[in-house]
Amino acid sequence: MNISKVGEFGLLGIIRKKVKNKDKNIKIGIGDDSAVIKIGNRLAVLTTDTLIEGDHFSLDYFKPEQVGKKATEINVSDITSMGGKPKYALVSMGLRRDLDIKVFDKIYSGIIEAAKKYDIEVVGGNLTHAKQIMIDVDMIGFVKKENLCLRSQAKPGDLIFVTGDLGSSTAGLNLFLKKIKGFEKVKKKHLEPESKPHKVNSFLKYINAMEDVSDGLASEIKHICEESNVGAVIYAANIPVKDETKQAAKAVSKNAIDYALFGGEDFELVFTVSEKNLKRVKGFLVGEIRKKKGVYLYEKGKEKLISGSGYDHFMK
């Protein structure tokens, strides 16, 4: 049986059976956006994320600098979603031999430019040959204990917020794939995604659970519910989707709400907060955590169980 039959979730199941952490300094291991390790008197946040040519980007419509920036931003997002601040990066690249030096130069400039924005320093890496361009960034940051945000800390009664509009990155991607002109703003959301630490950093200590929206809102809320052993309802009418995203989705005969729920790479943050702290946070209220298991969508007076999941790299 090949891996496309079990998908990421199935593979993660295999990994979880093999990995049993024993070291008491490991505060969070596999199963969240980043690992958290106590080193001396500090809490280090470790993450890694990869961009693969043909899967995550194409130089047909990405500028090389945009590819580099994206490789940095997606890792910043994984540290941000833990409540942490990134600090150091290792950059591992697989490169085609026919790649133009100028393209390599610009990709690396993009990596460094985005890193500077967050005061991150590149301290090492690796270069090797590959058939597709592959950029794997490993990032280390730090988090204050009181700011640590985990997937597993959602509680029944918590309200669910997202920090900004969703679906635009997936809409942008589909505009490129179908070679539809116009919609430049929507396309830019796909080409230049940005992490959103500034949207949550002032109220991290009031957040219960948090995750970045890299694989669609439904998928992220499912992760939170699974790790917290709870369920949730999402209010379809409250999901922030811009008009331009709706129009772009229409242009490719799709529904923008589906992009928001099941698309990917918006890199907004989804978090839960206790009702008593409602006024401490800012964002779009999109749902509620509850005891009843399963993630449901409330739309037009009815609730239905969301059975699909987010983008899966292995299932076509």
Distance of closest approach, residue 217 Cβ to its own copies, in angstroms: 20
In the complex, what is the shortest distance from the CB of residue 119 to its own copies, in angstroms, rounded to a whole number? 9
Should residue 105 be labelled a site residue for its own copies when binding is judged by CB under 8 A?
A: yes
Between CA 173 and CA 170 the distance in angstroms is: 5
The one among 61, 63, 125, 194 contacting its own copies by CB under 8 A:
125
Residue 290 touching its own copies (CB under 8 A): no
Query: Cα 76 to chain center, whole Å?
Result: 10
Binding of residue 314 to its own copies (CB under 8 A):
yes
Q: Which of residues 139-198 bind its own copies (CB under 8 A)?
A: 140
Q: In angstroms, rounded to a whole number, what is the distance separating the alpha carbons of residues 167 and 254?
A: 11
SS3 195: coil
CB of residue 274 to its own copies, shortest distance in Å: 28
Determine, following the binding rule CB under 8 A, whether residue 16 of this chain makes contact with its own copies.
no
Chain centroid to CA 127? 25
Q: Is residue 92 a contact residue for its own copies (CB under 8 A)?
A: yes
Residue 204: closest CA among 94, 99, 292, 280: 280
User: What type of residue is 117?
Assistant: K
For its own copies, which stretch binds (CB under 8 A), given 116-124, 165-173, 239-247, 254-262? Answer: 116-124
Figure out which of the listed residues 21, 201, 202, 229 binds its own copies, where binding follows CB under 8 A.
21
Looking up tokens 């779009």, which residue turns up? 284
C-alpha 73/C-alpha 163 separation (Å) is 16
- Looking only at the bridges linking them, the beta strands covering 269-273 and 134-143 are unpaired
The interface with its own copies within residues 42-61 (CB under 8 A) comprises: 42, 44, 46-50, 52, 54-56
**310 burial class (0-12, 13-18, 19+ CB within 10 angstroms)?**
buried
Query: Does 126 help bind its own copies (rule: CB under 8 A)?
Result: yes
User: Does 276 contact its own copies by CB under 8 A?
Assistant: no
Q: How far is the CB of 89 from its own copies (least distance, A)?
A: 10
* 279 three-state secondary structure: helix
Which of 97, 276, 279, 302 forms a contact with its own copies (CB under 8 A)?
97
| Contact track, its own copies, 187-216, x by CB under 8 A | ------------------------------
Using rule CB under 8 A, residue 227 touches its own copies: no
Nearest to 30, CA basis, from 44, 43, 19, 45: 19
Among 39-47, 168-176, 189-197, 270-278, the segment contacting its own copies (CB under 8 A): 39-47
Residue 184 contacts residue 261 (beta carbons within 8 Å): no
For position 121 contacting its own copies by CB under 8 A, the verdict is: yes
